[in-house]
Structure 1
Amino acid sequence: MPSVDSSPPLSSWDQDAQAVRQVIMERLDAGKDVVVLAHSFGGIAMSEAAKGLGKKERAAQGLQGGIIRLIYMCSMALPKGQSHIGQLTPQTPEEEELEKQRQELEAKYGGMEITADGALKLPKDNVHMILYNRCDPKDIERAVELLGTFPAGPLSVPVTYTAYREIPSTYIVCKNDFALRLPYQRRMIAQGEGCFDVEECDEGHSPWMSKPQFIVDCVRRASGEEVYIENLAVTH
């Protein structure tokens, strides 16, 4: 994403959304249907990028190809007018307790580092506990080395479009996610008021690393294939 390692740090997510939209349009211009999957904060860029590109909307304009489904993988699925920070403001006693625990862990292990130009930098010595629980240590080592900085500004910029109300959407719930905790995932799904198909797993914040076949199967189901599910809850 353009925001990663941006210097000076970008103030909004708009360039990320433009980058995602460009990739989508390359497929749509070729007449192809598209399934788009986003992770974590990437849900915001995906949602904004998808504006007006749903299969139904494009067909109404006589255009071939369209987005047939959005997949939010332990990701930010926001209603119009909400921001990342706003969504993660505790609203229940359970969420307040989780926020208290987060602050305690931050005090014990250290929190975000700030670069000279004001970007956020994850502490590489401890980030594996939050982002990569349940992952193979060798994968974690490689993933940590690939992490970049991220600007704080986009976290407080409200979204302009409720994508999941216009385009069929799936939410992949990760029950042991320590970055985007389960109650927050559940709240975003509830805000959708039935818009989401929901798939659930016991993974952490990086399920494509810890259980890749599950994510592959989710994408295949999202694209319309009938893929057998073993001991997993799927809601339609």
Structure 2
Amino acid sequence: MSTAEPRPTFLLVHGAWHRPTCWEPLQAALAAEGWQSRTVTLPSGGPQPTPSAGMYADAEEVSAQLRRIPGPVVVVGHSYGGFPVTQAAGDHPNVTRLVYLAAYVPEEGEYTRGMHGAPQTDDLEGSVPGFEDARGLLYQDLTDEQAELAIGRLVEQSKRSFHEPITQAAWRTVPSTYVLCEQDRALKPAMQEKMAARTGRVERIARSHSPFLSAPAELAALLGSIASTQD
């Protein structure tokens, strides 16, 4: 990125069972480095998620946010957020890069549960419970106080969101980088390695599934480096 070009804005897309508040420490760290960022509220999650809101509704919300952002955008999808990002981002010419942060990188026809071997189902109503051990799987490198706050913010997630398949894969046309979390217990590093092979570049961070909470300054520096580099 030359000095004459405007800095891109980061669009941060959260994962399942989360809300945009999870990004607050990272947004502060990005702002300290001079980067602008925005978030998305995915409709498939919430205290009482709408049963009809699935991955396609999430992708529509990502698209709506992208239409509101002037200038270039780097889209960051975390965990499940990789699905709506993959579905939506290819339709927007202002997206200069995708960043998959410990995220799914699906190809056409794949759905979240299917990537873990679960069969497709016609029963898409209701919500899916979260992790029984969120502390150990999502937040093992947070302090007890930080983990308690993060767990208290988790919400319900619609079943539909895990079963709607991708119909278009933005990573095929948009430059993409994978940030692999080497200490991840929720989305195992071995699976991340396989999905990362679909992207153009892989970066690694020795953190858990949620580095936006455990290491926001470190992650902000890495994202800034990714956004400033051309393939």
> 2:114 matched to 1:86?
yes
Letter in 2 for 1:46: V
> 2:126 matched to 1:118?
yes
Per the alignment, in what secondary structure is the counterpart of residue 145 of structure 2?
helix
> 2:230 matched to 1:202?
no
| Equivalent residue number for residue 82 of structure 2 | 43
| Equivalent residue number for residue 69 of structure 1 | 97
> 2:144 matched to 1:144?
no
Paired residues of 1:80 and 1:159 also in contact (CA < 8 A)? yes
Q: How far is 1:83 from its partner?
A: 1.2
Distance 2:225 2:55 in 1: 29
Superposed CA RMSD: 2.1
| Equivalent residue number for residue 169 of structure 2 | 162
After superposition, the Cα gap between the structure-2 partners of 1:78 and 1:221, relative to the gap in structure 1 and judged at 3 Å, is: same
Letter in 1 for 2:57: Q
Q: How far is 1:215 from its partner?
A: 1.3
| Equivalent residue number for residue 215 of structure 1 | 219
Within 5 Å, which residues of 2 pair with 1:17-36? Answer: 17-27=59-69, 30=70, 32-36=71-75
Paired residues of 1:70 and 1:170 also in contact (CA < 8 A)? yes
Per the alignment, in what secondary structure is the counterpart of residue 150 of structure 1?
strand
1:193-215: CA deviation from partner (whole Å, max 9, x where unpaired): xx321110121110111111221
Instruction: For structure 2, list consecutive stretches of 5 or more residues without a partner in the other structure.
Output: 1-41, 119-124
Letter in 2 for 1:208: F
Per the alignment, in what secondary structure is the counterpart of residue 202 of structure 2?
strand
Alignment partner for residue 4 of structure 1, among 30, 38, 45?
45
Distance 2:50 2:67 in 1: 28
Q: How far is 1:25 from its partner?
A: 0.9
> 2:139 matched to 1:132?
yes
Q: How far is 1:169 from its partner?
A: 0.7
Distance 1:151 1:213 in 2: 32
Normalised by the length of structure 2, the TM-score is 0.73
Q: How far is 1:136 from its partner?
A: 2.0
Per the alignment, in what secondary structure is the counterpart of residue 174 of structure 2?
coil
Q: How far is 1:132 from its partner?
A: 0.6
Letter in 1 for 2:62: V
Per the alignment, in what secondary structure is the counterpart of residue 218 of structure 1?
helix
Query: Which ranges of 4 or more aligned residues in structure 1 deviate by more than 3 Å?
Result: none
Paired residues of 2:43 and 2:53 also in contact (CA < 8 A)? no
> 2:55 matched to 1:13?
yes
Q: How far is 1:10 from its partner?
A: 3.0
Per the alignment, in what secondary structure is the counterpart of residue 154 of structure 1?
helix
Instruction: For structure 1, list consecutive stretches of 5 or more residues without a partner in the other structure.
Output: 55-65, 91-116, 227-235
Q: How far is 1:7 from its partner?
A: 4.1
Paired residues of 2:78 and 2:102 also in contact (CA < 8 A)? yes
What is the percentage of aligned positions where both structures have the same residue?
26
Q: How far is 1:123 from its partner?
A: 5.5
Structure whose alpha-carbon radius of gyration is higher: 1
